[in-house]
Each structure stands twice: as structure tokens, then as C-alpha cells.
Amino acid sequence: MTDDLALGLGHAHLRHRSDDGVSTENRVFQQLSYAVIDGRRVSIDARSRLEQRFFSDDGGSRLRFRQRMEVLVPLGGEKAPALKTSGELFMTLIGTNDVGDTEFDQFRGFAGFEVPVGLVTLDIGYLGQRRENPSRRNDVLFIGMDVGF
């Protein structure tokens, strides 16, 4: 829409493995990405996403809202690494079956570095995730890659 505002639509097809076997989930989502602060010393970006989730194993569906904030602090020029931290809150708005309506789903946080390498940008750091249903905490050494064309 503009340099600081982007509307996105998408679909994700996911396979979940558990002791009960394999199930699939299809997600349709709409998201709005926007700059909160776009400064030389720090930038803060946000993303608001609404997901419709459809499950194969129980035929159920859920509606989930995700809100993400990201802070980027450059450590030099455009080609230099930057400190990066982000947090994302997941809320179930409408649930079926074993999940009630309007409840905290999970929180995901990241702290590390964004390292540009040509057309590739690497995210390297710690990713922590706390889930409610099922109750679980994940601690991950995260390495991600974005490619620009």
C-alpha cells in the first residue's frame, strides 16, 4: 500500500505429528504490516494477523489473532549487522472442541542479530516460546533466512 504499510493474504498447509498419528491444518490469513517508528537509530515495526484455522482430524476450526512487534537497532551502515528483538502474542478469538473462546494461546519472543549477506538476511539468536494448550515451553537456537529478489 505504501513504504510503511503493507497488506498481505496467505495460506499455510501444515502437518502435525503426535502419538495419535499425523493431522493436517490449513490456515488462511490476512495481515497488516506497518512501521511504528522508522528512525536512523532504531526502528519498530508491527504486524497484525487474523488467521482462520481448519483441522483435518476433528473437523474443527478456530479463529486466531496474532500481534507482533519488532525492534531493530543498526550497529553501523546498511550492510552492518543489527540487534533485533521481537515479541508475538497469539490469542484464540473463537475456538471449537477442546479450546474455549477468547483465550491466550501462546507468546513467542526473539533476541539476536540480523545479518545482511548480499541478497540474503540471516536472523541468528534465541527464540523462546510459551504455549498454553498443550502447556509447553520451547527454547531454541534460531537461525532464519530471508531472500530478497
Query: How far is Cα 100 from Cα 57, in angstroms, rounded to an integer?
Result: 18
CB atoms within 10 A of CB 13: 8
Q: Residue 133: its pLDDT value, please?
A: 74
Nine-digit cell string for 53: 484455522
Q: Cβ contacts of residue 86 below 8 Å, gap of 6+? A: 68, 69, 70, 71, 109, 110
Q: Residue 20: its pLDDT value, please?
A: 74
Query: How far is Cα 136 from Cα 26, in angstroms, rounded to an integer?
Result: 22
Secondary structure element (H or E) that encloses residue 73, with its range: strand 61-74
What three-state secondary structure class fits 135? coil
The residue with cell 536512523 is: 40
Pairing of strands 120-131, 21-38: unpaired
- Encode the chain (149 residues) as per-residue pLDDT tens digits: 788 899 999 999 999 887 777 889 899 999 999 999 998 899 999 999 999 999 887 777 889 999 999 999 999 988 899 999 999 999 988 876 555 567 888 999 999 999 999 999 999 999 999 988 778 999 999 999 999 88
109: closest CA among 70, 148, 136, 62? 70
